[in-house]
Amino acid sequence: MNLTGSYTLVISGVSDPVQTPPAPAPAPVMQQINIEIKPGVPEQPPINPKSKGSIPVALLSKPGFDAFGVDTQSLTFGRSGNEHSLVRCFKEYRDVDGDGLPDLLCHFDNQMTGFEPSDAAGRIKGRMAAGGQFEGQGYLKVVPAKRK
């Protein structure tokens, strides 16, 4: 048997592999957190937008959210939550709400928060040091300046 010569190989029933585009990256998840504006003050703490000074805001830890993992430099707080009003955050443990978890207490410049008389809530936004974003809101009552 002599096997020399040219051969042609024909393959049928096979198509080119279809190139599927990669799936789009999922939208970042915005974690909702609890905050307390002016901890220790009644449910709707009064805010006078004309006052000088700062507004204390506690970021409350809960299962799935460790307030001490917050990138404090990313914090914004005020009327919309986009106001760059951060003054400072305390580094020590404070259990503001009595649940045994460490809460983060920060101060925000009162006049930079942009609150208006019709506002009923303050909003905070930020990032975790390990990645991920969060936002939260707390109730307040905007009060007019006292007349002299």
At residue 4 the predicted structure's pLDDT band, cuts being 50, 70 and 90, is: confident
pLDDT, tens digit (0-9, with 9 covering 90-100), for 23-75: 776 666 799 999 999 998 877 899 999 999 999 999 999 999 999 999 999 99
pLDDT at 146: 60
Among 41-50, 89-98, 122-131, 136-145, the range of highest mean pLDDT: 122-131
Torsion of CA 126, 38, 80, 77, to 10 degrees: -40
Maximal C-alpha separation, the chain = 118
How far apart, in whole angstroms, are the C-alpha atoms of residue 111 and residue 65? 29
Q: Please, what is the average pLDDT of the chain?
A: 89
Cα 114 to Cα 10, 35, 105: the distances in Å are 75, 18, 20
Q: Judging by DSSP bridges, how do beta strands 141-142 and 46-47 pair with one another?
A: parallel
User: Structure pTM?
Assistant: 0.79
